[in-house]
Structures are given as structure tokens and as C-alpha cells.
Amino acid sequence: MKQLSDLLGLPLPSRPASDPGLLDVANRAFDSMQNSIARQKLASYPPDQTIEIPRNACGMLDFDRAAEMIELGRKEARRCLERIARGPADA
């Protein structure tokens, strides 16, 4: 944005740091919609097991953290498999 602003000779619009930007608003709307769809699907078709990854583990555009997120998924999958192996009393 700064380069475009400099090229056009226009000042960057300022906003308080607490105000969400367009991407923040779109991301929150998308998350809200996805959460609603997921709740409906889980209620209609309850799974035997779930693997939960925290929403704040990464952002929507954190492609550079793919290896880290894949490892987090593997770690949580191992935990789930261990619960299954222990049997229904501990599941």
C-alpha cells in the first residue's frame, strides 16, 4: 500500500489500530459461516472421534506455516489414536 500511495502521491488512510481492516472483517465473517456449517454437520452426523486444532493456531494466509500445521495435525491424530487404543472407558 505504501508503494502505491507514494506512486500516486496520496497519503495512506489512517485508522485506529483497534479498528478491524477489510481482511479482518472478511475473515471473521468466513469463520462465523464455517463455524455455523460445522455445528450443523456435526449435529446431523456426529463423529465417533474428533481432532480439534485451535482456531488461533494459524491465520488464513499463513501458508509459510504449513509444515508446522501438518505436524500439529499429526500430533493431535496420534493423541486421538491413543485414546481409541485405550478403549471406550477413556475415550
Q: How far apart are CA 91 and CA 88, in angstroms?
A: 5
Mean pLDDT of 53-76: 93
> What's the pLDDT score for residue 51?
93
pLDDT per residue as tens digits for the range 17-29? 678 888 889 888 9
Whether residue 90 is predicted with pLDDT greater than 60 in this model: the reply is: no
Q: What are the structural domain ranges in the chain? A: 20-47, 50-91
Question: Running DSSP on this structure, what letter comes out for residue 56?
Answer: G
Contacts of 69 (CB under 8 A, 6+ apart): 53, 57, 58, 62
The grid coordinates of residue 55 equal: 482456531
In the structure, how many helices (H) and strands (E) does the chain have? Answer: 3, 0
pLDDT per residue as tens digits for the range 35-52? 999 999 999 999 999 999
> What's the pLDDT score for residue 24?
86
* Helix-strand-coil split of the chain, %, nearest 5: 65, 0, 35
